[in-house]
Every structure is written in C-alpha cells, then in structure tokens.
Amino acid sequence: REKRVGRMSSIDTAEANEECVGPASERAGKESGCDGCPNQQKCASGEGRQEDPDIPAICERLKDVKHKVLVLSGKGGVGKSTMTAQLAFALAGQGLRVGLLDIDICGPSIPHMLGLTGESIHQSASGWSPVYVSQEGLGPDDDDVELGVMSIGFMLPDKDRAVIWRGPRKNGLIKQFLTDVEWGELDYLLVDTPPGTSDEHISIVQYLSKALGPNDGAVIVSTPQEVSLMDVRKELSFCAMTKLRVLGVIENMAGMLTPMPKLQLRDKQGRDVSEASLALLRERCPELLEHFAYADVFPSAGGGAEAMAAAFGVPFFGRVPLDPEIVRACEAGTSYTAGMQLRGARSLLQPIVDKLIAATTEGEVGAPSPMNGS
C-alpha cells in the first residue's frame, strides 16, 4: 500500500561537506565549512529548517508512548539487534508495555530474534497493528506482558528476499511505520537501526524531532576493539550534531563467559582432552565445576567503550560478555532474562535494564523500581 510521503527537502545531505552542521541548523549555509558545498545556497535560505508536514501526524500517533529509545552504532555486527531484542524482552518481563520498531530495512533480523518469523502485518481501521509476542516466562503473569513488534520482515513474501531500495523509498517506509502503526499506550518504544549514520538515521531523528521527550534518546552499542570504537565515535558525533541525547553506552561481547563443564579443552596437538580434564577436576576439585570461565576475546583499545563514553561525556551502562545463553535465546526467539530467572541465575542484562529505566524516568513520579541486578 502506497502512502503520501509528504514534502521532503531537496537538500542532499549525502553530498554535504564533511564539516556540515546540518541543514536544520541556524548556521546552515553560513559557516566557513559550508564553502563549496552544492547545498550551501539552499541551506542559507532556510529550506532545510522547514518542518515536514507529516511530523504533527507522527507526534499525534506517538502521543501515548512514554519513552522512545533508539539503539544505534556506527559499526555493524556489534549486537544492536541482540541488545534491542533482549532489552525489549526484559522490559516487558517487568510488566512494562513495550513496542519494538525495526528500521533496519535491508537486514531485518528482529522477527527471528523475537520468535515471530512467518508472521504478517494486519490492517485495522486505525492503522497497521503490531505483531505481538506471546510466550511464557516473560513475567509473573503472562496477561500483563505486552510486547508489540513492527518490521519490514513481516512484509516480505520470502524471508530470504533481498530488499534493494534507495534512500527515498527507505525513508518513505520509515515514515509510514511512524504514522500508520497503532501502538496504543506504551511505556517504551525501542527502535532498532542499521549500522552507520546514513538515510535511516537522519530520517528517524528528523521524523521524531518533535515527538522525543526530555528523557528520550539513544543507547549506543559497541564492542571493545578499536576497529569498532572508531566507527562508534562517529555515531556519538552524529548524536551531538543532531542534538539526540545519549542515554548510555553498552560494551557488548566484552569477553567470553561459559560454565566450566561446557569448556572444550585441547592439548598442544589440538586433540580434544575435555572429558579427561573435567574428570580430573570432578575427582580432585569438584567445586571448580560450579564456576564460570571468562576470557578476553577482543582486545580492549585504550579502555574500550567505557573510556570512549567518558571522553564524550556520556553515561556508560556496562559490559555484556559473549554468553552462549544469550546466543541461544536470540536463535530461539526467547527472553534470555526470563530464562535465567527460571534457572534461579542472575541476568547479565538486568543492571543495564535498570540503568536504562533510571535514565528514561529521571524525575518522574511512579517510575519503575530497579531489580538490583537480580
């Protein structure tokens, strides 16, 4: 179904100078860094500061959504979708009403990670209806759990079909998601984004410019090594340039964590000696088998994501190691946090969830209480 996309600025930000202050800035077209830019005359005229006519409709559609959180990273493969999916599960498991919008148009993995592969969008009189997750173990009372999802993955006739779209068509669908999806009342709307600082990121920030509250903003995901941090720094710069508040930074894949009995041990010749080694431990030091093994996987560059966050003056939410249980939960489309709680074990994500709730509810009356990492 096609929908009027509305007036889009003719300013092509892809051709802008590296020092671009943004077409919506009061200084657009007037800075020294604007000299020679093909957009300079249009920016100076104020064309980029004209409000998109569909923004009021977006604000109206999202008026009952308390908090909007964008999950961003300049680098691909750092676990943005993993973090978005599992944060959504964890928030919903605390009895909060949660929506998850997937704007990774060319790589929509959210339906798989939430166990919704093969589902489709339903049209109602009030707009598109999200696809809702229904599974046990999200909270003390399944009737209180609400987790709705919207993704282009629900619109593809074949899950392996490539989406080969240019920027304007991507922007049109993102706007349609914001104007047409009937989320209803939500405590949180999480937005999963592709890597980079391109069309989808510029569009979602512009479209939400009037809908974001003072406690809304972005969660930035990185891995510890410099090859990731160098791109994530650009994402933090993007947030500063677009005046998008950074709620916190997560360092994902910060080492590997696994139970001792699941370790695979090899000798110098590469032969598997796991069984013999574990048998020796059971005989001589069985209490060691109750522990977890941890190892650094990626080299941390200059303090990793925590040091980067400090350099940019933004909060650091914490580290999440490579944990096989998180991987299994994402592959199965289930909640890692709920699974750990059922085992009587601590969720590695709970401290991050608590910090996210604290950052987005600062100063609010009746804000959810932290779970204290349990």
According to DSSP, the residues that pair with 147 across neighbouring strands are: 98
CA gap 111, 78 in Å, rounded:
18
Query: 43 lies in a domain?
Result: no
3-state secondary structure of 121: coil
Answer yes or no: pTM beyond 0.95: no
Q: Given this model, what pLDDT does residue 5 score?
A: 35
The CB-side HSE value for 182 (13 A sphere, CA atoms) comes to 9
CA gap 171, 220 in Å, rounded:
22
Regarding predicted confidence, which is higher, 192 or 343? 192
Query: 228 lies in a domain?
Result: yes
Query: 26 lies in a domain?
Result: no
Please give the tally of structural domains in the chain. 1
Query: 8 lies in a domain?
Result: no
CA gap 281, 72 in Å, rounded:
43
Domain that holds residue 339: 55-257+297-360
Residue 141 banded pLDDT, cuts 50, 70, 90 = low
Q: Given this model, what pLDDT does residue 36 score?
A: 82
Closest-CA residue to 249 (of 259, 235, 263)? 235
CATH number of the domain within which 305 lies: 3.40.50.300
Query: 314 lies in a domain?
Result: yes
**Top-ranked range on mean pLDDT: pick from 40-49, 100-109, 286-295:** 100-109
Query: 249 lies in a domain?
Result: yes
